[in-house]
Structure 1
């Protein structure tokens, strides 16, 4: 009992620190950029007392981009935490095991061949990405599952990496025969460029998190048992197949909705759960909320660094994350 209370207090402290870090990063991102806004003018502008230029820069350019980035990072981190629990593999990540690539193929096909402008089907993009990612996840799961041994975690990673490479090749083939403007867009999408930077994209992404975050938090007990082994879960009365399928669907939906507006960003779903476990322990009730905040903050910070690191367009957030995430993935691979 005492240990549980201490763990809760530790979690609350970590959540408070992460919230303050996120707010500090948001303030920095509002003021820094090609059209700088004085930090002394940020609060008055947010309260409706700023100049026209300051209000345009903050409310039309920076604030929607930051909210999209924050929500996408949260979604990717939560998807990674769920996948790692369901598959019992701490190397699982929607970007590494091919789910992001599956969503990317769906978005690419829709963008290249749907007779619509991007802005007119912004609310359909997450659904298209989810359908493509779901098909990819089903195939990966099918190839990684055996009736005798159940889901094989190592085989899941190997199969997912193979699917990711194959689907990346499919995207290259798809864009090889289209006009330059669409090629540029898809290329930046593949690099993890945050392209959904307007308020409609916030509205397209937000409902997925409003629905799925409470669902995953409610299922944390099942995730604790699934992360151990199937025999323990069955003995505790957990409907394994139903919960595994529902949680996998939630992870796929979270990852697909995020990458549909931010591009192919990997490693957030790998790093955030690991950092959260190191801070508050392995119980899902404790580390999942922490993981959500870490994921949002990491992607927000990566986008801030990338936008201001190189002129004129900066570096895509996905590349900045990869500079950190790739060595971290190799470290985990060697350690595990």
Structure 2
């Protein structure tokens, strides 16, 4: 039974985060290489703007904001799941190798597959999911012990090792590629948001529509997995089955996000921690908060990155890393 005051606190925090996301999005709409006056935003949104205003808002800014919001949400939810099933506060899709697995698959697909512009957008999340799934299966295999089952600490360590190895594979793959393709892959690795058109939104949105409610449905099982194994087994929970299902969910969320935003780490690390500090460790409470925090963090990072360097700006992944790396070190020292 969750105390009504905690539920009330969660709802107020969710409302505050929605307002924060809206304000950050409004600021992001007005700032950029082609500035858009803030007093023209509402008329343009209502279809009363000039051709230039309509183009800047609907073809450039708004799709990018929605993409970063959705990707941040997916990465935050993926990190929340990984921290629950591994019982490790340092778990994150970028740190445990999932992003690198997706990155290798995207790199191979982009460099060697015949690309059809019409299907490329929708195939990319599937390709990234296949790469991330293969990587997570290998990590799970090497983390599993017949007598004790999956070792959460070992899973994280294996993930870090695979992440480093796969980063080396990507360097080898792009070393002999054409210049224009190398430029794309290098930007992808830096976490440069490149999927900034409306079709990318339709490619990413179904994953969230399906997997966010599914994760909330599994919240009680995540609560049990966060406890020690004898307790979870004692209440009749099938540990390996639930871990595999939730691991696949985390992989799908992370792969769909990084397929359009590039290799962005630390969102899945920071958002769950901040959410737990605000509303406590119960998954029913902190997961919705973490999802909104993740979306806001990536929108904020992308907005900042677009202002600090001309003409292309600084990659959102670099801005997030500048914030997330010190936070990661702080968690290492603390735990």
Q: TM-score if structure 2 supplies the norm length?
A: 0.98
SS in 2 for 1:122: helix
* Cα displacement (A) at 1:330: 0.8
* Cα displacement (A) at 1:237: 2.4
Specify the alignment match of 2:322 in structure 1.
323
Assess if the C-alpha contact under 8 Å between 2:32 and 2:307 holds in 1. Answer: yes
Aligned ranges 1:1-336 → 2 under 5 Å:
4-117=3-116, 120-336=119-335
Residues 289 and 85 of structure 1, relative CA distance in 2, 3 Å threshold: same
Q: Residue deviations 1:118-175, cap 9 Å, x none?
A: 5541101000100110010011111122223332222222211111111011001001
- Deviant stretches of 4+, over 3 Å: 117-120
Could you tell me how far apart the structure 1 residues matched to 2:203 and 2:57 are?
20
Assess if the C-alpha contact under 8 Å between 1:77 and 1:273 holds in 2. Answer: yes
Extract unaligned runs of 5+ from structure 1.
none
Assess if the C-alpha contact under 8 Å between 1:72 and 1:259 holds in 2. Answer: yes
SS in 1 for 2:193: coil
Could you tell me how far apart the structure 2 residues matched to 1:116 and 1:154 are?
40
SS in 1 for 2:106: helix
* Cα displacement (A) at 1:65: 0.6
Greater shift in the superposed pair: 151-160 or 83-92: 151-160
Q: TM-score if structure 1 supplies the norm length?
A: 0.98
Could you tell me how far apart the structure 1 residues matched to 2:325 and 2:150 are?
26
* Cα displacement (A) at 1:117: 4.5
Extract unaligned runs of 5+ from structure 2.
none
Greater shift in the superposed pair: 105-114 or 119-128: 119-128
Q: Residue deviations 1:89-111, cap 9 Å, x none?
A: 11100000000000000000000
Assess if the C-alpha contact under 8 Å between 1:103 and 1:259 holds in 2. Answer: yes
Greater shift in the superposed pair: 241-250 or 129-138: 241-250
Could you tell me how far apart the structure 1 residues matched to 2:289 and 2:90 are?
18
Could you tell me how far apart the structure 2 residues matched to 1:108 and 1:119 are?
19
SS in 1 for 2:163: helix
* Cα displacement (A) at 1:244: 1.3
Assess if the C-alpha contact under 8 Å between 1:111 and 1:118 holds in 2. Answer: no
Q: Residue deviations 1:239-261, cap 9 Å, x none?
A: 32222111111000000000000
Could you tell me how far apart the structure 1 residues matched to 2:146 and 2:297 are?
39
Task: Supply the RMSD in Å over aligned alpha carbons.
Answer: 1.1
Assess if the C-alpha contact under 8 Å between 2:149 and 2:240 holds in 1. Answer: no
Assess if the C-alpha contact under 8 Å between 1:307 and 1:314 holds in 2. Answer: yes
